[in-house]
A and B are shown apart, each in its own frame.
Chain A
């Protein structure tokens, strides 16, 4: 039997996991990506179930669950990726401080982030002041001091003045750029020296919380922690932080090891042909042929699923025909679903009524989060055609679920015979 060709569209967490798993199953893997998605934008926390769900359960039961088992293959993938710290099933969940000032649980996290469970009870945490738009040590400390976990463990938060940026204008550059600068050994040594002085002046401390500035290619946080003899780590930041860039570099390393080339290209259509699928790629001829395809193109946030408002057809008086409210960003023989129902043609020529259904209400995700490919639990749409990650309808929008679904889809893609 010749090697199966598995084509993975999208190289976020789900696509990367699918490529990794398909390669392990001995398939020939083609991987294409057409720009930054959610994995590269929102970053730091590696959740499995949404943390809010855990928080709700805690509120009801009054007890924080342990980390718990992960789906098959996830831990192996994470070990190969070497980006996240994932506690074992019987260990406690991680605790991360968010930029917004909450202390939340997480199943795993980018290793540069400060895991608050590592700080000894009664420990002292230092938050240096800095003029950056994403960082207000004073109000962060104020918010975190009120947190139940911080109080129950008797943690002391202290805000101190510090000069942490070496060059002029660094208070205004993007956090990821600042993080990149700390990959330089000299620059890292300078930061270590500054933080060392800080600790010397502030007195015995157990941890330093910083913004998302701690390196991209190299493990700056762990180097600092080791050399300074206390836990140094980042806050969980949002869009534009360093964690997304770190994911991209980790991906580069992993793909190099696997010998898979990441092609930057835009897949326009996936069509069933006699012996598999034909993928039309923008600006290329002829189409590529694959035995199986994994669509890991993300949901609405990543651009994999597109909301099609009829207004946007410029120059026309009315849309040509009734349409579905959402479509995939590429042509493929798939249906979409949300909230357990297949999406139908909306019964207004002017498109759906988004007024109440787009934004999440109570515990239910809104349409924008829920919508995705209608597929079976392995991600199968048709024999040989799979969806993974946020592209799957009604799947939780979490990193580890994306990884798990990528692995599941790739496993199925490598084993299924095409009729």
Chain B
């Protein structure tokens, strides 16, 4: 492997890894927000 390959690999690892992590966080947050909304609605109906 040439030296350039290592640089490319390293940068792919950094940005790929960070992008995956951010994407994972965003998905988790979207899911949690959705669930909170649903629960709030149920809670609101239950109190009426």
Same complex for A and B? Answer no
